[in-house]
With several copies, the nearest count.
Chain A
């Protein structure tokens, strides 16, 4: 599949599954999941330094050999998101930022107005901005217009595992996007990821579905296979849906066993 690489802002990736590192019970399970997923890119967050913490997640990710995509999780305003992005640039020495500006702590849904403001400011400050957004096609277009390097629409709320609640909106976003579309949030299992890729997403970000599964490594592998399956299927040209059946076995040439006056 190396011929079919994901490209974002000039960087290329063989894997189309981005792994979120939140929710793992420990670093060992995270490492196993990274390997099982074949992930090349993982999100990380920033929180107040805990002096008692032993070992940095960065050591784990380095050992596994994945690159880091910092996020601004937990920010409710453009201002806090921008400051957090600047801290991330300092902490991780990368201009890439997964921009999250949420409007609400029960749904964790993005706040459209603050999100656009933050995206604009960060693009101007030279960041490569990958915004977590709703499935609103107009908002996605606005984010692309202000210079985001990709758009990351949700399928359903973070951690909800409800999959893609509105495939119609997602497909409209994909049809009209000039930048990569990465499904972010809502994936609950492998088929959700496959479906997203079949709709034409360029990649899938998955965190809770893997980190909180009973067997994270197995689910990481499953979601990774789902992403590959969906990507391949997207390119293979699926059959059209039809209300009635179409025989897969030819109908002509059926033998006729019955005959008038033949005793059986």
Chain B
């Protein structure tokens, strides 16, 4: 199915989860300062594995940077 991850279109197999995306991006499982929003709602780390994406899902994976 087609989803958008950090602004870029991605093709994922049906049943893909938030965790699949994390994996796809090579994010270390224990990476610090990382958080994810799926279609505008935060998905806590504990629910990455169980949360499935759907056609057209918008995934934002953010990390800490220097700022303000």
* A residues in contact (CB < 8 Å) with B: 20-24, 30, 43-51, 53, 56-59, 68, 70-71, 73, 83, 86-92, 98, 100, 158, 207, 211, 248-250, 253, 255-259, 261-262, 264
Contact = CB atoms under 8 A, between A and B. Distances in A.
A20 B36 CA distance: 24
B67 A43 contact: yes
A126 B42 CA distance: 16
Interface of B: 4, 6-7, 25-27, 31-37, 39-42, 44-45, 56, 58, 60-68
Contacts of B31: 56
A56 B42 CA distance: 21
Given A22-B67, A71-B68, 16 more contacts: A20-B68, A22-B66, A23-B66, A48-B6, A48-B61, A53-B63, A56-B33, A57-B66, A73-B67, A91-B33, A91-B62, A158-B68, A248-B67, A249-B66, A259-B40, A264-B41
Contact of B65 (A98, A250, A261): A250
Given A49-B25, A56-B33, A83-B40, A100 B6 contact: no
